[in-house]
Chain A
Amino acid sequence: NAGVTQTPKFQVLKTGQSMTLQCAQDMNHEYMSWYRQDPGMGLRLIHYSVGAGITDQGEVPNGYNVSRSTTEDFPLRLLSAAPSQTSVYFCASSRTSTGELFFGEGSRLTVL
C-alpha cells in the first residue's frame, strides 16, 4: 500500500492564481481531511469528509473548496490564492472519524 499520496510536494503561486492539491489514499478509509500547518499554530482543520459525497467545514475553511466523488480521492482547491495561504498542507485519512490518522508527506505552498 502507498498509504496517503499528496501532490505536488512544492508549489509557488502568484496572488489570484488557482490550483488544486491532490490527495489519494489506497486504504479504503472513509474519513479524509485537510490540515494546514503554520509555525506556532499547530495543525488547523480546513475541510473534512466522512465518506464519498459528504464534506464539511473545519476550523479555517475560507478560501478553500473540496469535493469527495470517490472514497480514494479528496482534492483541495484554492480558487484565488492569497499570501495568507502560504503554508504546509497535510492530507490525512483514517478508517473512522475517531481512529488513527495517516498523513501524507505534505505540500509546501508559497503564494507571492
Chain B
Amino acid sequence: GENVEQHPSTLSVQEGDSAVIKCTYSDSASNYFPWYKQELGKRPQLIIDIRSNVGEKKDQRIAVTLNKTAKHFSLHITETQPEDSAVYFCAADLYSSASKIIFGSGTRLSIRP
C-alpha cells in the first residue's frame, strides 16, 4: 500500500559529527517531501521541505536530497549540536481522492557530548 519508510529508527552521533536519515516512498506521483522535528513533549515542527522539481535544498546546517527515480530522500545534519537531539519525521504527499501527507515512523537522534 501507500507508505513512507524511514531508517534508522534510532541514531546516536558524536557532537560535531554529521547525521543522515533516509526515507523511501511508494507513490511515484508524490511531489512534496517535508521533514519535521519533534522535541520531547512538544508538537512536530517543519524544519525543511523539498519539491520534486529540485534535487537538493540547504538551510544552514540542514540539507535534504531527493532521488525521484529511486523514490528516496534523505536529511543531512552537519556539525551536530546538543539541541539537534529530537525525533525527526520524514513525510510525503500521497494522492488518492485528494492529496494527503503521510509520515514515516520517525528517527530518534541523540547527540553525544
Residues of A within 8 A of B (CB): 33, 35, 40-45, 48, 50, 54, 56, 58-59, 90, 97-98, 100-101, 103-106
Contact = CB atoms under 8 A, between A and B. Distances in A.
A59 B9 CA distance: 20
Interface of B: 6, 9, 31-32, 34, 36, 43-46, 49, 51, 89, 93, 96-106
Give the interface SS of chain B, mostly helix, strand, loop or mixed.
strand
Given A58-B102, A101-B36, 13 more contacts: A33-B101, A42-B89, A42-B104, A43-B89, A43-B103, A45-B103, A48-B98, A54-B98, A56-B100, A97-B100, A98-B31, A98-B51, A98-B99
Contacts of B98: 48, 50, 54, 56, 97
B43 A100 contact: no
A101 B102 CA distance: 12
B43 A48 contact: no
B49 A35 contact: no
Nearest to B2: A59
A45 B34 contact: no
Nearest to A47: B100
A106 B101 contact: no
Given A98-B32, A101-B34, A45 B101 contact: yes
B105 A100 contact: no
B38 to A, nearest CB: 9
Contact of A45 (B6, B89, B100): B100
Contacts of B89: 42-43
B16 to A, nearest CB: 28
Given A33-B100, A48-B100, A40 B9 contact: yes
